[in-house]
Amino acid sequence: MKLSQLLFSFLMGYFCYSLIEIVMRGYTHWTMSLTGGLVLTVLYIINSRNSMTLIRSCIAGTLSITAIELTVGIFDNVIMHWNVWDYSDMPFNFLGQICIPFSCLWFVLCIPARLLCRRIYRTLSRQSLNKKAVPINSEQPL
């Protein structure tokens, strides 16, 4: 896996998550944009494995997203007091940073994310295979 593939998946996650949050809530926080990029990069790595089934991908994705969400939530909301989100009113929440209902949503959203990640992987892998070294002919002018 190349750095360019990881960077591309990060940027896709950064902009797609920001756009979704702006459409749904009317705003986003810069740390959420970074988190969206990190999440899609992790999902890209998970879904780049050919042996990964859809269910295993969704489970691994859900656990990864929830762990990232908890980590960012503790930093943003508990340590920095930025109050980016608060799940305290949600059932089965932990410190108001993660909750079962949103983890279930992450499971469902891992399905289209898997399709996107596999599409990115196939496209970028195909492009790198199509690039062939072209020998420079010294007789032809540049």
For the chain, list residues with pLDDT below 70: 128-142
pLDDT value of residue 133: 47
pLDDT value of residue 129: 65
> For 57-75, how does the pLDDT look when each residue is reduced to its tens digit (9 = 90+)?
999 999 999 999 999 999 9
* Tokens linked to 102: 């949103």
Q: Whole-model pTM?
A: 0.86
Residues 48/89, Cβ–Cβ less than 8 Å: no
**Interatomic CA distance for residues 142 and 136, integer angstroms:** 9
Q: 86 φ, ψ to 5°?
A: -150, 110
Q: 139 φ, ψ to 5°?
A: -80, -20
State the DSSP string of the chain. --HHHHHHHHHHHHHHHHHHHHHHHS---HHHHHHHHHHHHHHHHHHT-TT--HHHHHHHHHHHHHHHHHHHHIIIIIIS-------TTSTTEETTTEEHHHHHHHHHHHHHHHHHHHHHHHHHHHHHHH--PPPPPTTS--
Residues 107/58, Cβ–Cβ less than 8 Å: yes
**Interatomic CA distance for residues 65 and 122, integer angstroms:** 23
The C-alpha R_g of the chain, in whole angstroms, comes to: 19
pLDDT value of residue 1: 77
pLDDT value of residue 51: 87
